Amino acid sequence: MPNVVVIGAQWGDEGKGKIVDWLSAKADIIARFQGGHNAGHTLVVNNITYKLKLLPSGIVRKNKISIIGNGVVIDPWALLDEIKQIEKLGIKITNKNLFIAENAILILPLHRDLDGIREDSKNTDKIGTTRRGIGPAYEDKIGRRGIRVMDLGNKANLSKKIDIILFHHNSIRKGLKKPLVNKKKLMEDLGKISSKILKFSKPVWKKIDEFKKKNKTIVFEGAQGALLDIDHGTYPFVTSSNTVAGAASAGTGCGFDTINYVLSIVKAYTTRVGEGPFPTELKNEVGNKIGRKGKEFGTVTNRKRRCGWFDAVLVKQSCTISGTNGIALTKIDVLDDFEELYICVAYKLNGKKIDYLPSSLQDQLKVRPIYKRFDGWMESTQGVKKWKDLPKKAQKYINFIKNYCGVKISSISTSPKREDTILLVNPFKK
């Protein structure tokens, strides 16, 4: 069966967790390929709610292998705490069902500190990060001073690497008149958890190759959304990794031929957390109503999400960049009692009509949406499991999205529950 990459096609929070969990029923392996514990996935299974941050969504299923790839930055303390919380809900996690890439970068307390220092500084623009150290950890990775999972296994080598990373961070701290990092304490703290992390450590690229040769089915799970991609998102108001489908290969160490299908998760309206451009944002009661009905608060931060009408321009752009084969549309039920709905079909910039979001931040902030109006269906779609049972006006809304974006709608989610999903195209069938 084909291997599937699952990404978000907006600014994240599209409902990837539920879809990956639903897909994992047919898969053998679920691999997370980028991001950190700044992105949360909420699953509702048998009336139990699981809030996942670093653990792949497949971890809640028996007889599945979950992988945290090398493209992920890992806060080891946050991961161990998450494992403890999930195990309290009856899920057993061992080195048989969870693999961590030995070459994945670790997030240290000094990364969280630097994240907060920057966000609080009066000399820098606020990006709206989650202050969890994701960006600084990726910076150290690119700067070739990062601490990797495998480094925890050699105390002498770890000590040398800590010296290198502290030379950089303590120089910054000294300049900002902040307390310097205590190496001894950092080494002791890492020593206490090293064996707990190392037991999951594996050469993930090799494991995936073995699975591939055995014809195992893999779901590659992304975090955040394509519009937060470090290259293709609303820069600089983005995350610190590549979130588009192409990152699945680099973030796990597998060849392009391993990936057969790209599934983009798309919410039936648009939301965004943090700062940055948002052309269809509704700063009024309509936006507030969408937020209330959609329960738009972050899984990780509990921050209120900004809400707006569906932006088809952005979704089409994201799907093009990721080579999307199918769209999984979520939260259609949130729009059930709106008398009228709008979809953005173009922008106006400096008096001209354009059909894409430009790369310039200044232009992104200036674009104005051009809308197409739709009648609301004013009927409940919650829990609907068949296309024919959807209201005709809801079908019209969905079909417009399909035709505008030029991508098939593979499934439609009508509630947070796993079973409330309309399957139109099975991504596992060639």
| Best CA proximity match to 75, nearest among 135, 161, 6 | 135
CA 358 to chain centre: 23
| Best CA proximity match to 227, nearest among 314, 122, 98 | 314
Catalytic site residue from 21, 28, 41, 113: 41
Q: And the tokens for 77?
A: 């303390």
Contact 374, 341 (CB under 8 A): yes
The amino acid that residue 416 corresponds to is P
- Rounded distance between C-alpha atoms, residue 118 and residue 84, angstroms: 31
- Catalytic site residue 41? yes
CA Rg value for the chain: 22
- Catalytic site residue 151? no
Q: Which long-range contacts (CB under 8 A, 24 or more apart) does 46-53 make?
A: 48/89, 48/90, 50/86, 50/89, 50/91, 51/85, 51/299, 52/17, 52/82, 52/86, 53/78, 53/82, 53/299, 53/300
- Rounded distance between C-alpha atoms, residue 373 and residue 383, angstroms: 26
Contact 410, 424 (CB under 8 A): yes
Active site residues per annotation: 13, 41
